[in-house]
Structure 1
Amino acid sequence: MLRKLLTVYENSVLFSERPDVPSEQLYLFYDQAADEWLSIPKKEISDIELHLLKTLYELVEWQSSAVSSRVNTWYEFLFLNGVLPSEKQDTSFRFIHFHLNGDDTDQKEMESALKGFFSDEAVFLWESQSKGVIIEEQKQISLSEEELLAISETLESDFYESVTFFIGKVHPFSEQLRAFFQEERELFQFALAKVHNSKIFSFERIFPAYLSARLPAEIKNMVPEAVFALFADDPEMFSTIKVFLETNLNASLTAKKLYIHRNTLQYRIDKFVEKTGIVLKDFNGAFIVFLACLLFEQKG
């Protein structure tokens, strides 16, 4: 099946319907038995591989009428090292990456639903059957983090398929946009694999975990083992301390999020300080413990 080629060709994209936006830099193959289409960048396929794929699947000829479309130009710029799209030079853009957590995604139906929440000028690009990116011009940006969370919950209620977003920063329109896009894409991929229990991600939320995962072993080993041992023996302690730090040491908000009484929260905090000797109300102590929380979470 074509979908097996997704693991072979990194930048290939699977479609359940013939894509409307063609590109001269892509090959499009059709699997009649599965009724699926797969696009693969030409530069990733050797002549021998192309000959083999043509014997297994139908090579579809692109229609040239849409080659110069705005969507296609953005796709080629971001994924195929194409030329910078023709946009206003004095503007800025934001990328919102999204991931659909389902195995049977109807791309057209989901795209139509998502478009209802964004400006008509926003550009939607599909990277794979379940992943894509929304490109917004700065003047079109209107959705906050809370509103994107509400959108995710609405789509999950309507389609029984949860959506996770990564909110990128606003970047000036330049050739560097591609590099910014790739950096945010990598952070989002890391978040999907390593960070759980969240539907909305951002640079600020992911970078500490991303950085901690890449620390040398000798640095990781310097984190007090007593903290890891306490977290391993008492999972409730781990979740309590992590939420407490994430809420900026706000006891009321922490107790509310964990559905516990403030006295219970204070008991756990006192127990943590007693067992580890680290005071959480000190910034340096809080920093060390937060790093320990990130490393402990990644071990699991």
Structure 2
Amino acid sequence: MFNRLLQLYPNSISTHKPLANPNYIWLQSDSNYIGIPKSNLSEAERSLLLALFPIENVGKQPPLSALANEWHDYLINDGQLPSTHSVRIRFIHFSISNIRDEFPFDEWEEALKSLFPNEVIIIPFNSGQGVIIEEQSNVSITEEELFSAIQAFESDFFFKTHFYIGRFQEPGPSLKSLFSLEQSFLELSLTEHPEERIVTREKLLPLFLYQMIPNAEKNIMFADVHSLLKDDIELAETIKVYIENQSNATLTAKQLFMHRNSLQYRIDKFIEKTGIDIKTFHGAFFAYLACLHIDEK
């Protein structure tokens, strides 16, 4: 039924958690949610859909500071862009899963802020999602530092945290659109790679582009590779991990618990079977998308 709704309302979004966005109505079926823009629905349609797919709530939002409230109003509603002392800022989006009924947001916010060398603004959208706004300075938190903090958080607070780290950008007319795009990137990661704790634009772009290809065209484009490898899924997974590791054979062999010579044999076997030279940029990019297609099948 949800797939049918997504077809009927192509501007809808599908998520694991409803976002605190007043421009959408949220429908729930089991553990999935779909947000449909209110502007796409008549009053009769809204009433019918909410009756068929009732949702308890979209999560309570903790109290906000004056500045955080300005940012929330800008990002979620139609507010004005708040003034910032920095020329460039970035969004670090977060999503928390396995939350207990009584989530100590104040404690978690204090612990999170302590990680950053400079003051940051934390804006929760509901009890499990939000965004951190960081101004660019001489020292910024690194991906490695954030990953170490995640491990400590999971030990102290008993839940899982996922981050999407955006790029520093100059505030301007496209900032709100960038925010929405990055939100969709985080949701894509939560759906397709829930084991990943930290993701970036570079990590997710191939998957994002792959999902933009219509299914019928995917089936045609990758048909030959799928036919050759459908009985050797392990080979496709090996090549996928190898490309994800920037063609680093040592790192890939260690991650897959295999001898480097065995890995090289699989790489040569893949090139021989498919005719795709994954040692080139274009060959590696196409092969990676083909491996995503095999995973999907």
TM-score range, shorter chain: 0.7 to 0.9
Contact 2:117 2:141 in 1 (8 A): no
Matched residue SS, 2:169? strand
Residue deviations 1:265-295, cap 9 Å, x none?
A: 1222232233323232233322221111223
- How far residue 147 of structure 1 moved from its aligned partner, in angstroms, is 1.3
CA positional deviation for 1:158: 2.2
Counterpart of 2:184 in structure 1 is 186
Do residues 168 (structure 1) and 166 (structure 2) align?
Answer: yes
Q: CA 1:235/1:187 → structure 2, altered by over 3 Å: closer, same or farther?
A: same
| 1:217 aligned residue | 215
Structure-2 residue corresponding to 1:12 = 20
Equivalent position SS for 1:84: coil
Q: How far apart in 1 are the matches of 2:211 and 2:195? A: 18
| CA-to-aligned-CA distance 1:1-32 (integer Å, 9 cap, x gap) | xxxxxx9x96538xxxxxxxxxxx9xxxxxxx
Q: Specify every segment of 5 or more residues in structure 1 that has no aligned partner in the other structure, as ranges.
A: 1-6, 14-24, 26-42, 50-65
Which residue of structure 2 aligns with residue 83 of structure 1?
A: 80
Name the aligned partner's letter for residue 91 of structure 2: F
Structure 2 residue identity aligned to 1:244: Y
Give the share of equivalent positions with the same residue, in percent: 38
Q: Which residue of 2 aligns with 1:204?
A: 202
**How high is the TM-score relative to the length of structure 1?**
0.72
2:98 is matched with which residue: 88, 91, 102? 102
Q: Does 1:267 align with 2:265?
A: yes
> Displacement of 1:138 after TM fit?
0.8
One-letter code of the match for 2:281? Answer: F
Write the letter of the residue equivalent to 2:98: G
Instruction: Spell out, residue by residue over 1:55-75, the C-alpha distance to the aligned partner (whole angstroms, 9 max, x if none).
Output: xxxxxxxxxxx9981111111
Cα distance 1:113–1:235, how it changes in 2: closer, same or farther (>3 A)?
A: farther
SS for the counterpart of 2:221 is coil
Higher CA-based Rg: 1
> Which of 282, 288, 291 does residue 293 from structure 1 map onto?
291
Q: For 1:220-275, what per-residue CA distance to the aligned partner results, in whole angstroms no more than 9, with x for missing partners?
A: 12334343245543332222101111222221121122221111112222322333
2: CA distance, partners of 1:183 / 1:203: 10
State the alpha-carbon separation in 2 of the partners of residues 279 and 175 from structure 1. 42
> In the alignment, is the contact (CA less than 8 A) between 1:95 and 1:169 conserved in 2?
yes
Q: Deviation string for 1:73-125 (max 9, x for gaps)?
A: 1110111121111323x611110001112132432232222122124520001
Cα distance, 1:166 vs. partner? 0.5
Matches of 2:117 and 2:169, distance apart in 1:
18
Q: Which residue of 2 aligns with 1:282?
A: 280
Task: Work out whether residues 84 and 175 of structure 1, in 8 Å CA contact, stay in contact via their aligned partners in 2.
Answer: no
Runs of at least 5 residues in structure 2 that lack an aligned partner in the other structure: 1-14, 23-38, 48-62
Task: Say whether the 8 Å CA contact 1:252–1:262 is kept in structure 2.
Answer: yes
Contact conserved, 1:223 with 1:288, CA < 8 A, in 2? no
- CA RMSD after TM alignment: 3.1
Residue 143 of structure 1 deviates from its aligned partner by 0.9
What is the TM-score normalised by the length of structure 2?
0.73
Structure 2 equivalent of residue 31 of structure 1: none
Q: Find 1:113's aligned residue among 92, 111, 114.
A: 111
Q: Distance in 2 between matches of 1:270 and 1:93?
A: 45
Secondary structure of the equivalent of 1:134?
A: strand
Are residues 1:72 and 2:80 paired? Answer: no
Measured in 1, the distance between the counterparts of 2:167 and 2:155 equals 28
Counterpart position of 1:249: 247
- Give the Cα–Cα distance (whole angstroms) in 1 for the partners of residues 84 and 277 of structure 2: 52
1:150 aligns with 2:158: no
Q: Residue 295 of structure 1: SS of its match in structure 2?
A: helix
Are the aligned partners of 1:245 and 1:286 in contact in 2 as well (CA < 8 Å)? yes
